[in-house]
Amino acid sequence: MRRGLARLVRDGLVKRVGDRYVTAAALRSKPVAAKARGRIVTVEVEKVYPGFAVVLVDDKFRAKLEPSTYNGPRELIKKGRRFKARATITKLDGRTAILIHDVVEAI
């Protein structure tokens, strides 16, 4: 195990951050010192269409969720699934859209 980890560090694929190991790609996409964006919302998947999904945000309003704006496990994008996520709500082309930065908890 240690040899494999040492090889990944030597090749530059993994970096040591404190007492943990983090992939270099994750560090490029989300710096450790970066502030968390968005706020915690409850998301429920209402309907899945080819190329997007309609979700209910905080049991208040609907929003469009596109694959390019979702950073989380694919298993959660099924009809009826609920989860808490750190997200930003925006308007894209006059429609409410949600950008999910990180999934916090599957309900």
Residue ranges per domain, the chain? 1-32, 39-106
**Which overall architecture, per CATH, does domain 39-106 show?**
Beta Barrel (2.40)
Residue range 62-75, pLDDT digits in tens: 999 999 889 888 89
Instruction: Give the pLDDT score at 35.
Output: 61
Contacts of 103 (CB under 8 A, 6+ apart): 71, 72, 73, 76, 83, 84, 85
Instruction: Give the pLDDT score at 27.
Output: 53
Instruction: Give the pLDDT score at 57.
Output: 96
Residue range 7-63, pLDDT digits in tens: 888 887 787 777 777 776 665 555 545 566 789 999 999 999 999 999 999 999 999
Give CA separation, 73 vs 11, 20, 33, 60, 85, in Å. Answer: 27, 22, 24, 24, 11
Instruction: Give the pLDDT score at 15.
Output: 77
Residue range 92-106, pLDDT digits in tens: 888 999 999 888 888
